[in-house]
Structure 1
Amino acid sequence: MFADLRCSPSCARAGVHGTVSICPPDCFQYKGTLDVFYKIIRQEGVTRLWRGTNAGLAVAVPTVGIYLPCYDIFRDWFENFAAQNAPSMTPYAPSLAGSLSRSLACTACYPIELARTRMQAFKDFTRGKYAPGVWKTLVDVLSNVKTSENMKNVQSYRALWTGLGAQLARDVPFSAIC
């Protein structure tokens, strides 16, 4: 009758199969934004709607703090360079500055973005227990990498930028257009 979908202990519609709590399939099928809010609040509580907010702010603040001043600096530099060497290229200065600034900001802040993604993916139904924070998540990522025998210590830090290419592919064209 129920699909083998693990359910929150607080779900009122959960069935029990042996020692595992399972939910009917419609618990994980959403019919709209309000349905998502209703099911999250019912299954996990109101506070779970803000899960990951601290991590989101931890990555947004330094990213914007790097992006905005770099954009101004690069745009001025590109405009001055184009005005002296290739006046027809001057209109492209904002696009180049946006691309370069976003690339720099994303690369510098990606370890925090990685921690944010892992924190938001972490799901714990234990009441009174908090998910690990940004710092603990980063330390856990590094400790997992350092324990691998096949990598040198300097190369192990590269794991902090795993997935950067996908973020650059998403963010850089947007910044170039804007």
Structure 2
Amino acid sequence: MATKLPIIISTADGSSSSAAVAMKSESSLTPVQRLMSSCIGATVTALCVTPLDVVKTRIQAQQKESLMNNNNNQSSVRQSTTNTRPIGSAGGVGNGRQFGQTFKMFIKMSRTEGLTSLWSGLPPTLAMVIPGMGVYFTSYDLFRVHLNKQFGYINRYQPLWVPIVAGSVARTLAAVIISPLEMIKTKMQSQLFTYGELALALRHMIRVQGYRSLWTGITATILRDAPFSSIYWAVYETMKQHAFGSPVEPTVPVSFICGASAGTVAAIVTHPFDVVKTHRQIEMGSTSGGGASGVYRTSALLAHIYRETGARGVFTGITPRLMRVAPACAIMISTFELGKTYCRQYNDSKLT
């Protein structure tokens, strides 16, 4: 039997209104109002958490370089029968503790590259997250309301599968649209690229591999983002409506706690695909093409990383990602819900 989440709206005196009023409150929001709420939330979130995203990407880039060096060393061993250094020794992933420790990476980047390096790729990040989150959150909200109407769940209950399906479809749509911008952002964060160097790399990649290469890593991105979205919205809606008994218009603290918790759970489950995506996108514009990710499909690359570095390897960068995802989800959903609340109040004021 499907788990059902009650949809309730509390009136000013604390009593519960009818489901019809609840649906009217949801339907009163226009797509433009939803879009505005999500875009404002995306801007605030990007400015706050970009440094954590940069650190996560840099740590995963160090892991990729170590895997490439290890593969080259193993080839030399077969030719010269000389023992190679195991991963974890100096220069390997294990020695990347100076990079593997999140705060050490912050300090190192600030000292050696300047404080502004922590916001590397901010312009493409803003160019990506504003339309991306706009499409994502607006689509999710519209899909969710449509499914509730289509299957007759507006009378009282919203089953758990509704946020799962709506979240997955909305996130897949957004991922396809913004994948080229995310690749540019990842490349800029993994190394200190000027815009001129990045443009050259892009032209070289398109000339050699075609325009489809702009969607390099899209499979790993969807494998990461679609399940992430399904898990996130399932946990968020469950906590919001069950654990906190929150109405359709939750308070900011409720949204913040539910968003951070849902984001943490979803990030842990889907992080291995984030590692694979980063490995593939870092190779964008590479002339060598000899990286480990260049010769493996997503599942095979994940298995390769696991064989070389163990479970710790497939969760490389999990600490900075959690430090980024939890507050990002909390800030984004809180701003989004707050924006929708103001829009509902505005709509109601026009009717009175």
TM-score bin (small chain):
0.5 to 0.7
Q: For 1:145 and 1:33, how far apart are their aligned partners in 2?
A: 32
Name the structure 1 match of 2:217: 163
Q: 1:174 to 1:46 in 2, by over 3 A?
A: same
Corresponding letter in the other structure for 1:98: G
Q: For 1:37 and 1:122, how far apart are their aligned partners in 2?
A: 15
Q: For 2:161 and 2:199, how far apart are their aligned partners in 1?
A: 38
Q: For 1:139 and 1:39, how far apart are their aligned partners in 2?
A: 28
Corresponding letter in the other structure for 1:144: H
Greater helix content: 2
* TM-score for the superposition, normalised by structure 2: 0.34
Name the structure 2 match of 1:147: 207
Deviations 1:35-83 (A, max 9, x none): 2222222222222222222222221111111011111221122222322
Structure 1 spans left out of the alignment, 5+ residues? 1-23, 125-130
Q: For 2:180, which of 111, 122, 128 is the aligned residue? A: 111
2:127 corresponds to 1:58: yes
Name the structure 1 match of 2:136: 67
Deviation at 1:137, TM superposition (A): 3.9
Deviation at 1:138, TM superposition (A): 6.2
Percent of aligned pairs with the same amino acid: 33
> Helix, strand or coil for the counterpart of 2:152?
helix
Contact 2:121/2:189 (8 A) holds in 1 = yes
Deviation at 1:140, TM superposition (A): 4.4
* TM-score for the superposition, normalised by structure 1: 0.64
Q: For 1:106 and 1:140, how far apart are their aligned partners in 2?
A: 22
Q: For 2:226 and 2:145, how far apart are their aligned partners in 1?
A: 19
Contact 2:133/2:174 (8 A) holds in 1 = yes
Deviation at 1:28, TM superposition (A): 5.4
Q: For 2:185 and 2:140, how far apart are their aligned partners in 1?
A: 24
Name the structure 1 match of 2:227: 173
Q: For 2:218 and 2:179, how far apart are their aligned partners in 1?
A: 7
Corresponding letter in the other structure for 1:165: T
Deviations 1:78-103 (A, max 9, x none): 2223228xxx9943111111100000
Q: Count residues with an aligned counterpart.
A: 138
